[in-house]
Structure 1
């Protein structure tokens, strides 16, 4: 399966990575690892220890294939990672004392977050919940719209919207998605249900019965139809009770038809005297 290509990519955001040389505002230098700090805007919450160790072995054997990207810190002679957190951590595991880095002369907070997000997405390092939280952070802290985020990551706007829907799920259900026990597809369907307890009940069925996304979709659709039917039945009962009460008061046949928003009441009379009697009940005369 061919790996997806993100729209703007690291090569477009960081031209030096493509050419393996510094641009006019970038310099390639070797920096002591103890002078480098992690990215404050790193969207990734966890790092696979086994994969880090594998990368460390590769670095020991073959060296660092690609420099990390850093920007000067507010502390003199110190730097903050923009992209390359895994390479930085693996280099420390490999016992290296320094690392090759591209120093970007200037990068604001928004650019740092954008670059870190794109790198993680390109390397498929983010789980669906981390990805959704990164999108939310871009919106809340930097004012990105769904359209702007979709442009940054090179995906459809619906991908961003569906990812953000996952954050409406209870935290324990979000954790199951992070742990890959249920899929983001399951989560997207479940996010359309407001009742948190019902969501957890369905999640138990997913885990116990190995339900597919399509099966969960049918369950949710069935619950909505049942709710709608129950609502219609309740309305029909209320209208019937109201009709019977009016008939008792007026002493004649009455029909009520319509919905909760609009409808019609029909009052029957069987003679002029009957009509006069009914109008007196309303305290007006013909």
Structure 2
């Protein structure tokens, strides 16, 4: 079962003066000129799907903006707090006004709300999420424990996400562009040098490797390093074929070592507890709960 919880309640507990990430039932939206609304300078999301924006813009041309965006006053203008995609689509649709809910929000809360809104809707790629976490920690002196509570994630998840910022910049750009997934990036963290991470990242893109294949490749690199780069003793062809068949069926690396008298042992690798559960399910092994 996922450890993720509803985010709104955790956010309200931290910034009760701001309220939930969505407009409340008692808030009456008002229409203001679209040209008076400026983008959110704290928006952690950098990339938007053009096709989905066009679809939303077409819907707005037909039915208008159905859900108001949240803004705050900035002199004679307004600054967006939440609803970046709706704002961009409204501009694309060419509508003159947009429904808004106006709130009195501080800079720190504006950043928190923008981050939580995107995490709640799973809009951020893994690098954008990591950068947003780092901003909260550095700009607002939050601990990882406080941050984990705010976004309703366990502390290890937050820590591992932040570690993605240690990957080579080229690899981070691959994640931001969608060439690599967050799962690919997390698998690369198990490699100890940036050179190894970059080489494998390029291979992922060139060969369209799955996350499972990357985890196997990482295991091979680590095994080679631990053996001092010495090639493993060659196994009989029928053993190698069996290993390949098991690996293809289980989706992970399998090692078969044969001993005298028809004995031996089989090693099945897993790379996370979720991976272990997946393997157990494949082999119909009930796990204690």
TM-score (norm 1): 0.69
Distance in 1 between residues matched to 2:50 and 2:10, nearest whole Å: 25
Contact 2:21–2:113, Cα closer than 8 Å, also in 1: no
1:180 is aligned to 178
Q: Mean Cα displacement is larger for which, 200-209 or 136-145? A: 200-209
Which residues of structure 2 form unaligned runs of 5+?
A: 13-17, 230-289
Deviations 1:226-252, CA, capped at 9 Å, x for gaps: 434439xxxxxxxxxxxxxxxxxxxxx
Deviations 1:53-90, CA, capped at 9 Å, x for gaps: 211111121222111111111x2x21111101111121
Contact 1:56–1:93, Cα closer than 8 Å, also in 2: yes
The answer as to 2:25 corresponding to 1:20 is yes
Instruction: For 1:216-231, list aligned pairs within 5 A.
Output: 216-230=214-228
* Matched residues, number: 222
SS at match of 2:42: coil
What's the offset of the Cα at 1:190?
1.5
Contact 1:7–1:151, Cα closer than 8 Å, also in 2: no
Instruction: Indicate how the Cα distance of structure 1 residues 95 and 145 shifts in structure 2: closer, same or farther if over 3 A, else same.
Output: same
2:256 is aligned to none
Contact 1:10–1:115, Cα closer than 8 Å, also in 2: no
Distance in 1 between residues matched to 2:180 and 2:151, nearest whole Å: 24
SS at match of 2:171: helix
Which residues of structure 1 form unaligned runs of 5+?
A: 232-286
The answer as to 2:187 corresponding to 1:189 is yes
> Which of residues 98, 123, 134 in structure 1 aligns to 2:132?
134
Distance in 2 between residues matched to 1:137 and 1:154, nearest whole Å: 17
The answer as to 2:90 corresponding to 1:85 is no
What's the offset of the Cα at 1:11?
9.1
Contact 1:32–1:97, Cα closer than 8 Å, also in 2: yes
Distance in 2 between residues matched to 1:110 and 1:129, nearest whole Å: 21
Q: Root-mean-square deviation (CA), in Å? A: 2.7
Distance in 1 between residues matched to 2:86 and 2:138, nearest whole Å: 29
2:31 is aligned to 30
Instruction: Indicate how the Cα distance of structure 1 residues 89 and 167 shifts in structure 2: closer, same or farther if over 3 A, else same.
Output: same
1:54 is aligned to 55
2:121 is aligned to 123
The answer as to 2:196 corresponding to 1:198 is yes
Distance in 2 between residues matched to 1:115 and 1:160, nearest whole Å: 17
TM-score (norm 2): 0.68
Contact 1:41–1:116, Cα closer than 8 Å, also in 2: yes
> Which of residues 106, 109, 113 in structure 2 aligns to 1:108?
106
Distance in 2 between residues matched to 1:208 and 1:28, nearest whole Å: 49
Instruction: Indicate how the Cα distance of structure 1 residues 167 and 114 shifts in structure 2: closer, same or farther if over 3 A, else same.
Output: same
Q: Which has the larger radius of gyration?
A: 1
What's the offset of the Cα at 1:100?
1.2
SS at match of 2:172: helix
Deviations 1:31-74, CA, capped at 9 Å, x for gaps: 1112111111010112222211211111121222111111111x
Deviations 1:133-187, CA, capped at 9 Å, x for gaps: 1111111111122222222222222221121111111111112222332222221
